[in-house]
């Protein structure tokens, strides 16, 4: 069970997250949509403390953290229970595709090199990257880099995977392969929280869609309800704009 209660965050005087509360069931896939600058990415980044939230509670499995007084151990704990997929991939530039996957398994999880390599082998197969296993990020296409990025997060067996606009930086030709991989991942009942502008993808993958505006969750519901029959005028206006 994952639970976010009354999460607040501001940059200076500007509030970016206001009283965000959200419960996520195991295996649930939640997509967050909304205009740019409304705190969608900040919400994800606050969940694993890439940005520091100001107040609220985050509970992931057996770890409950009051964010205002989170200790170093709490922060590491949250990060180790979540996997993060970045918009711009952010692969370790000094590591091959395989090493990107094994790095945290060895340094963070303390796995033996042999076990980590075996795990990487499986992930590389699942992501369709066996042939590029020993390539460095600089020589991979955007789509391949993002698949490694997802693989790196998958390897950690996180209770929650966070996707921060995983296809926004990609050339259109690579978007399909990344979304396909995410669909495959969804079939394994991985719990996922996804920020995306891919409305068609959101419709097919989400159990629930959240619409955020002005740092708040304005409206939420299953895709058919939220996308086809939204209640709030702001949701309606946004959906009209993105067509």
Residues in the site for other proteins, rule: CB under 8 A? 48-50, 76, 79-80, 82-84, 86, 88, 90-96, 103-104, 107-108, 136-139, 152-153, 156
The nearest distance, CB 53 to other proteins, in angstroms, is 15
Helices (H) and strands (E) in the chain, counts: 9, 10
The nearest distance, CB 220 to other proteins, in angstroms, is 25
Nearer to other proteins by C-beta: 89 or 238? 89
The nearest distance, CB 233 to other proteins, in angstroms, is 36
Nearer to other proteins by C-beta: 90 or 199? 90
Nearer to other proteins by C-beta: 52 or 224? 52
The nearest distance, CB 243 to other proteins, in angstroms, is 31
Distance of CA 242 to the CA centre of its chain: 22
- Give 58's strand partners: 4, 65
Query: What's the CA gap between 96 and 108, in Å, rounded?
Result: 18
Q: What would the DSSP string read from start to end of 60-129?
A: ETTEEEEGGG--HHHHHHHHHHEEEE-TT----TTS-HHHHHHHHHHHTT---HHHHHHHHHHHHHHTT-
Nearer to other proteins by C-beta: 93 or 242? 93
For residue 3, count other CB atoms closer than 10 A to its CB.
13
What the block records as the tokens of 22 is 């959200």
The nearest distance, CB 89 to other proteins, in angstroms, is 8
Nearer to other proteins by C-beta: 91 or 205? 91
Q: What radius of gyration do the chain's Cα atoms show? A: 18
């Amino acid at each position: 069970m994952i639970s976010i209660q009354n999460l607040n965050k501001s940059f200076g005087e500007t509030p970016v997250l206001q009283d965000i509360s959200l419960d996520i069931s195991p295996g649930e896939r939640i997509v967050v949509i909304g205009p740019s600058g409304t705190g969608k990415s900040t919400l994800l980044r606050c969940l694993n403390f890439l940005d520091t939230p100001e107040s609220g509670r985050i509970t992931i499995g057996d770890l409950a953290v009051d964010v205002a007084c989170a200790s170093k151990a709490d922060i590491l704990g949250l990060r180790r229970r979540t996997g993060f997929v970045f918009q711009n991939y952010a692969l370790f530039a000094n590591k091959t595709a395989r090493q990107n996957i094994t790095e945290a398994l060895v340094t963070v999880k303390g796995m033996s090199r042999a076990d980590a390599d075996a795990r990487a082998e499986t992930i590389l197969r699942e992501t369709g990257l066996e042939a590029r296993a020993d390539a460095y990020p600089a020589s991979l296409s955007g789509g391949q880099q993002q698949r490694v990025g997802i693989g790196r997060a998958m390897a950690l067996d996180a209770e929650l995977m966070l996707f921060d606009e995983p296809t926004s930086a990609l050339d259109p030709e690579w978007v399909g392969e990344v979304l396909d991989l995410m669909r495959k991942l969804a079939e394994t009942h991985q719990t996922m929280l996804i920020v995306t502008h891919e409305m068609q993808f959101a419709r097919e993958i989400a159990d629930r869609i959240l619409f955020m505006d002005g740092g708040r969750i304005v409206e939420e519901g299953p895709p058919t309800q939220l996308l086809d029959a939204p209640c709030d005028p702001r949701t309606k206006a946004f959906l009209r704009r993105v067509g």
